[in-house]
Amino acid sequence: MGRLSAAGIRIVRDFPEQFIILTSTGTERSMRGTGFLIASFATMLSALIGCSSSVRAPVVAEPAPPISADVWREVREEIWTASMLAQSEADTHARQAMREWMGRVRALIDTEFIPWYSGYWTQQWIGVKAGWYEMNREDEEEPVEHYLAQYLQEQFYELVLEPASVESDPQTISKQTAALYVRLLSDQLRCIRQTYAVPSQSLHHQLRQIPLIALAGAKPTTVSLSEVVDRSDLAGVPAYDALIDHADSPGDPENLSADNRYMEFVAEDSVARHLEKLPVRAGGGAAATLVGEALGLFISVGIAAWTAAAHEQEKPEIESQLKGALDAALEDMWRSLMEDRELGVLYPVHHMSRQIDTGLFAAHAPDLEVPF
């Protein structure tokens, strides 16, 4: 007899060319002709299609267009050159900044540390402490020279290294140098992309296979070269921050202070010079009994005989010896800070450059020709 359409309309066919349409409210409407029937179905079908069109199919990202082997080979050579140029600029910056810092260190040695060490009251204090410790030291205890060297190290840091580092220090220079390398490398990579008209997506795809930072450890931290294509500052990137933190050792007082070997040499000479003025080294207990009070100590160990006049006669020799020891220590410090590729100021730059070399040559470019 009839059926209910999707629109709630019942279509009843009583005659070949007449249709009675019963709406959902029961109202009858009569229509003639098969044309109306076709039009009604077309209308309902369009409505159904319109509803289904609101659900869109997921967009599938197109793969990165490939880079030809010849173009990619030239791009790799350009990347290697860019890294070398950035490293050279960073090295020049670091050495200039470190020379300025070292100049401040040498100036403070001449104006602060040597006058302090060779001063009359400093030498008196060293003599008293050396004599007192030597008389009370047990055989298994560290020699007095060991403790004096530690004290001189502390004073060297306080009088020289700390004020010399107010404007800048090796740790700060290391961070600035790493940031300069990244910025220069980023600029060059963008130029390479424009020069060779390499699609950004394709370049990123290739550069993700080349490491920039690869730190071993309990939680390996890595960054690929693609990170620096669109950004010239990696501060805040976990791997980069970890690399900089690893390079913080140049700023540690223990690594900056004058080599302990030279301080111990100075301490040994100073202790020997003072102890030879002592009349006799009695046993620790006997010496303590004889001394009693500080004034007694001065008198009993013969420190009072070391007058200001005698001090002035020995002062040039004391200063010359200390100056020579510190010059040798500073040369070692410079080599450690500037030539050590694992702990020096340039460690972050050397690490990133080495990772790029490894990625370009070993893994992705065995046929790469380096323009020497």
Q: What is the mean pLDDT of residues 176-196?
A: 95
pLDDT at position 372, please? 31
Q: What is the mean pLDDT of residues 151-170?
A: 90
| pLDDT surpassing 60 at residue 216 | yes
| Choice between 82 and 140, residue whose per-residue pLDDT is larger | 82
The mean predicted confidence, pLDDT, of the chain is 75
How does pLDDT run across 309-350, given as a tens digit for each residue?
777 888 898 899 888 888 888 888 898 899 888 888 999 999
Map tokens 């009569």 to a residue. 30
Boundaries of every domain in the chain: 2-48, 69-363
| pLDDT surpassing 60 at residue 269 | yes
CB atoms within 10 A of CB 179: 19
* pLDDT confidence bin for 123, thresholds 50/70/90: confident
Percent helix, strand and coil across the chain, each rounded to 5? 65, 10, 25
| pLDDT surpassing 70 at residue 18 | no
Which segment of 145-154, 221-230, 254-263, 347-356 scores lowest on mean pLDDT? 254-263
| Choice between 307 and 22, residue whose per-residue pLDDT is larger | 307
With beta carbons less than 8 A apart as the criterion, state whether 307 and 359 touch.
Answer: no
With beta carbons less than 8 A apart as the criterion, state whether 66 and 202 touch.
Answer: yes
C-alpha angle with apex 322: 321 to 325, nearest 5 degrees?
90
Structure tokens at 217: 């450890």
pLDDT at position 181, please? 98
| Choice between 292 and 246, residue whose per-residue pLDDT is larger | 246
Distance CA 164, CA 104 (A): 5
| pLDDT surpassing 70 at residue 261 | no
pLDDT at position 58, please? 53
Structure tokens at 13: 């066919």
Top-ranked range on mean pLDDT: pick from 4-18, 22-36, 89-103, 137-151: 89-103
